Amino acid sequence: MTPTWRKPFGMFVILALILVWVVIVASFSGVVARWQPLLQLGFYGVTGMIWIAPLKPLLAWMETGRWR
């Protein structure tokens, strides 16, 4: 097997997605800080798991070269 460019490129895409997601979530921190602690926990818990959803097709593409 010869190495492909997909894995290094995909790694940088994953890092970029994480960075963008962190900036988006952090931009809401002023609003979320005024919420009740349990609501804050729920918000950060949900947003902490949502970013994983786009990774499945990206990881599949990195491994196979196909999006499905």
pTM over 0.85: no
- Taking the domains of the chain in order of start, what are their residue ranges? 15-64
Q: Is the pLDDT of residue 64 over 80?
A: yes
Distance separating alpha carbons of residues 28 and 65, to the nearest angstrom: 36
User: Average per-residue pLDDT in the chain?
Assistant: 91
Distance separating alpha carbons of residues 60 and 58, to the nearest angstrom: 5
**Which has more pLDDT, 67 or 39?**
39
Distance separating alpha carbons of residues 52 and 46, to the nearest angstrom: 11
Q: What is the pLDDT of residues 25-51, one digit of tens each?
A: 999 999 999 999 999 999 999 999 998
